[in-house]
Amino acid sequence: ERERKATERRVREACFPVIKTIDLFDFKAISTLNESLVRELLRGEYLQKSENILLLGNPGTGKTHLATALGHMACAQGKKVRFTSVIALVTQLLEQRENKGLARLMKQIEKLDLLILDELGYVPFSKSGAELLFDVISRAYEKTSLIVTTNLPFEQWVEVLGSERLTGALLDRLTHRVHILEANGESYRLAHAKARLKGKKA
Ligand code: ADP
Ligand code: MG
């Protein structure tokens, strides 16, 4: 009972947008995904080694779902987790820098076992936004595990991060000890919307 309460608290503190677990995930719907690697990662050894996970793939293929499921499992394993969209984090970092709260925020982040950065997308960051994100990723290096989800191939990260040097350094840290999960294929959302439409017509 004590354990269950503690896990519940950790899940609350992780701020998942929607709670999604692995038992709700249909591996058959996404054939490109390496299921055995997902199962291995769910055991959580990557957290012990402060390794990272990169979830790549086009929209709607279950990246956020998987990142949440991994984070949820980490909470159950006693880890301190925080889920945030990349944009929300960068916005928060910029705000806290204005309000002199940056050091405190960075300390909070450094206490985490797992930081989930959801949806590195097409919206470019300001120069200082990109630098602050780089700072978070550098501090996490070999201390805190990161899960990053993105639909951007590596070649396009520079368009979002601005500087080629910063992108190189960031990728270097992020990918030094990384497990890559690729979820490519038809959007699960789209496939299900289509299936529903067909069902109605039939
Ligand atoms: P992404 O982050 O890759 O854009 P999401 O994880 O947000 O995709 O998935 C979109 C929706 O479809 C979510 O509601 C998610 O739970 C669901 N979904 C995606 N893939 C699967 C799957 N293989 N099994 C069950 N639900 C899935
Ligand atoms: Mg997503």
What are the φ and ψ backbone dihedral angles of 124, each rounded to 5 degrees? -70, 145
pLDDT in tens, 143-152: 999 999 999 9
Evaluate if pTM is beyond 0.85: yes
Residue in this structure with the two tokens 């999960």, named with its chain if needed: 181
Determine the atom of ligand 1 nearest the C-alpha atom of 189. 12
Model confidence at 202: pLDDT above 70: no
CA distance 98 to 13: 25
In 3D space, the residue among 159, 96, 149 whose CA is nearest the CA of residue 123 turns out to be 159
Residues 6+ apart with CB under 8 A from 62: 25, 29, 30, 33, 183, 188
Model confidence at 200: pLDDT above 80: no
pLDDT in tens, 19-48: 999 999 999 999 899 999 999 999 999 999
Question: Stretch 56-77: mean pLDDT, rounded?
Answer: 97
Q: From the CB of 62, is ligand 1 less than 6 Å away?
A: yes
Model confidence at 133: pLDDT above 60: yes
186 pLDDT band, cuts 50/70/90, is confident
Tell me the residue ranges of DSSP E strands in the chain: 52-56, 81-85, 114-120, 145-150, 178-182
Determine the atom of ligand 1 nearest the C-alpha atom of 29. 23
User: What count of Cα atoms within 13 Å lies in the side-chain half-sphere of residue 4?
Assistant: 1
Tokens matching residue 62: 């279950």
198 pLDDT band, cuts 50/70/90, is confident
Model confidence at 159: pLDDT above 80: yes
Of all residues in the chain, what percent carry a pLDDT higher than 90?
A: 88
> What pLDDT is attached to residue 83?
98
Ligand 1 centroid to residue 1 C-alpha, Å: 31
> What pLDDT is attached to residue 51?
98
By most ligand atoms within 8 Å of CB, the mutation choice from 25, 54, 58, 65 for ligand 1 is: 65
pLDDT greater at residue 148 or residue 194 = 148
Q: From the CB of 65, is ligand 1 less than 6 Å away?
A: yes
pLDDT in tens, 82-130: 999 999 999 999 999 999 999 999 999 999 999 999 999 989 999 999 9
- Cα–Cα distance list, 173 to 144, 154, 156, 177 (Å): 12, 14, 17, 8
Q: From the CB of 16, is ligand 1 less than 6 Å away?
A: no
User: Phi-psi category of 121—alpha, beta or left, where left has phi over 0 and alpha has psi -120 to 50?
Assistant: beta
201 pLDDT band, cuts 50/70/90, is low
Ligand 1 centroid to residue 197 C-alpha, Å: 19
Determine the atom of ligand 1 nearest the C-alpha atom of 30. 23
> What pLDDT is attached to residue 185?
84
In 3D space, the residue among 147, 132, 38, 156 whose CA is nearest the CA of residue 83 turns out to be 147
Q: From the CB of 63, is ligand 1 less than 6 Å away?
A: yes
193 pLDDT band, cuts 50/70/90, is confident
CA distance 48 to 92: 28
Q: From the CB of 104, is ligand 1 less than 6 Å away?
A: no
Count CB atoms within 10 A of the CB of residue 58: 12
> What pLDDT is attached to residue 5?
97
In 3D space, the residue among 82, 147, 92, 97 whose CA is nearest the CA of residue 120 turns out to be 147
